[in-house]
Amino acid sequence: MAAAAPDRRGSLWRHLRETAGERLAPLDAMLARADLTTPYQFFEELLSGPLDGRRKLIRRLGEEAHDPIEELLNAALDFETLSTPSLQLFLDWFDRGDVEIVRDPSAPLDAVRVMTAHGAKGLQAPVVILADATADPAAAPRGIIGWSIEPETPKIPVFRPRATEGGGPLDAVLAEAEQRDLEEHWRLFYVAATRAEEQLVIAGALGPRARGAVPAMSWYAAADRAMTALGVSADPESPRQFVGVPPADPVKASPRQAEAAPPPSPVPSWARTPAPAEARPPRPLAPSSLGADDIADPPPSPALRAAAERGRLIHALFERLPPLPPDRRASAAENWLAGPGGVAAPQLRRELADTVLAVLADPRFAELFGPESLAEAPVAATVADGIVVSGTIDRLLVTDEAVRVIDFKTGRRAPASIDAVPVYHLRQMAAYVAALAVIFPGRRIEAALLYTATASLFELSPALLALHKPGFADMQQSLPAGG
């Protein structure tokens, strides 16, 4: 087709129509079918029809052309299931896509493989030819560099300036970019020069800009300097060759006088002493399981489940709402209860939210729900007589002088006074206080119970808690959360 092109201005297609005659018949047939068939049918006719394109491509490109041909046909079939089967739409879709053909590059192949230095990483071949080793890295085309006006700010894409356009802060950025490019240039040379198993050929052609001199920073010039350092003579009529150096004679092993083996050491007595029996650790004591909840008029079984669910939801709100700004807590509570909380009744959602919001809005409890406090804090410690206390504290506030522990009680009833607080609540708090005294020695431990139904806070004195300190017979293996 190139030989038939006119050596003048004008339309190539018109010139071919006037001069090629019958030789354009296959091309006319292709153009006639392009608007009438689907992309798959069009390509299959070219490959298997009268043009015999598949056999010609494989004869010209080798057996490796099978995979690209099949991928093109598969892509055409996939496209026909996604959009209108138009050849123009397919070409646009295919051009914007990314089809990758995976092939084992290390498989032996009786052919010449043309690759980039990047693509040759990890591969080897008996003969490797670096056919373009005279490229000058300093003559790379202009590109884009990233420039940060201030440290830690996003980089702005800037066209690489010419030599006459330098100056200002871009000089440092440009120098850094050129240094990175040069380092990458030499890294690729190392990769390319270490791919040969038997023979490495370094060659190249000089363009008109080189003016007959090999660029000093090219791979060819670096190899030439290495040849000179190795003492390889230069002959203008033949290429320089380096076939290796004779290996040095191995170093003779110096005779060593055998050293007398030291006498065996006696076996220590502890090696024959039976190991002591391993002490069995005590079973953890869960403070929230100290005694049954025998408060008056207990609800029936369905009501008991409803009360437990109510307590779980209130605990969840106390854990989630304190970090939010006060003006967002009501809407956040409503959204959580209606969504993850699974509360369908609007009246129940308002009741639960109002209970929690009333406590959070009380100034007496501001410090308990401040940013320094911890929600659902797990604790575990070994207290007196080897008892292990393990549980989860509803709210914990730790300062340099004191540790304040608060446990929520979410029942619908609250004691009228400290004397009416159930004993099992006091036992639970005494166990938490004992564990915190071990964890934070030397700090004052302050404990309190917060009954959310009436927003009643009962401070528990050390003397009261001492009467209910840990020392219980009924210890449980399970570790439920407090409350």
Q: pLDDT, tens digit, for every residue of 230-289?
A: 888 877 778 888 887 777 888 888 887 777 888 888 888 888 888 888 776 666 666 665
Residues 6+ apart with CB under 8 A from 326: 360, 361
- Domain contains 52: yes
Confidence of residue 8 (pLDDT cuts 50, 70, 90): low
Q: What CATH number is associated with residue 333?
A: 3.90.320.10
- The three-class DSSP label of residue 198 is strand
Confidence of residue 98 (pLDDT cuts 50, 70, 90): low
- Domain contains 241: no
- The three-class DSSP label of residue 143 is coil
Quote the DSSP letter at residue 441: T
- Domain contains 115: no
**340/448 same-domain check:** yes
pLDDT tens digit string along 364-397? Answer: 777 777 778 888 888 888 887 777 888 888 888 8
pTM, two decimal places: 0.38
DSSP for 47-69, written as a single string? HHSTT-HHHHHHHHH-GGGHHHH
Cα 19 to Cα 4: distance, rounded to the nearest angstrom? 8
Q: How many CB atoms lie within 10 A of CB 341?
A: 20
- Domain contains 281: no
Give the chain's mean pLDDT.
Answer: 79
Range of the domain at 315: 287-466
**332/382 same-domain check:** yes
* Residue where a domain terminates, one of 96, 113, 147: 96
| Residues above pLDDT 90, as percent of the chain | 0
- Domain contains 57: yes
**For 413, phi and psi rounded to 5 degrees?**
-115, 150
What's the total number of domains in the chain?
3
- Domain contains 135: yes
Structure tokens at 50: 């009268």
**81/129 same-domain check:** no
**142/204 same-domain check:** yes
Q: Is the pLDDT of residue 105 over 50?
A: yes
pLDDT tens digit string along 176-222? Answer: 777 888 888 889 899 988 888 888 898 888 877 777 788 888 888 88
First vs last Cα of the chain: how many Å apart?
88
**Residue 141, pLDDT score:** 59
Cα 443 to Cα 400: distance, rounded to the nearest angstrom? 8
**Residue 297, pLDDT score:** 41
**362/455 same-domain check:** yes
**224/326 same-domain check:** no
Cα 295 to Cα 415: distance, rounded to the nearest angstrom? 10
- Domain contains 480: no
- Per the DSSP assignment, residues forming a β-bridge with 389 are 285, 381
Residues 6+ apart with CB under 8 A from 51: 26, 30, 45
**320/457 same-domain check:** yes
Q: How many CA atoms lie within 13 A of 159 on its CB side?
A: 6
- Angle of helix 53-61 relative to helix 39-48, nearest 10 degrees, comes to 70
**450/331 same-domain check:** yes
Cα separation values, 108 from 185, 200, 387, Å: 29, 18, 71
* Residue where a domain terminates, one of 212, 229, 246: 229
pLDDT tens digit string along 334-344? Answer: 888 888 888 88
**Residue 21, pLDDT score:** 75
**76/198 same-domain check:** no
Structure tokens at 222: 């670096």
For tokens 């010609």, the residue is 56
Confidence of residue 458 (pLDDT cuts 50, 70, 90): confident
Cα 43 to Cα 27: distance, rounded to the nearest angstrom? 14
Which own/partner contact pairs does 222-230 have at CB distance under 8 Å and 24+ positions apart? 222/189, 223/133, 223/193
* Residue where a domain terminates, one of 96, 116, 146: 96
Residue, of 192 and 453, whose pLDDT is higher: 192
**299/213 same-domain check:** no
**Residue 474, pLDDT score:** 45
How far from chain centre, in Å, is Cα 37? 46
**301/387 same-domain check:** yes
Q: How many CB atoms lie within 10 A of CB 123?
A: 13
- Domain contains 11: no
**294/331 same-domain check:** yes
Please report which helix (H) or strand (E) contains residue 157, including its range.
strand 156-159
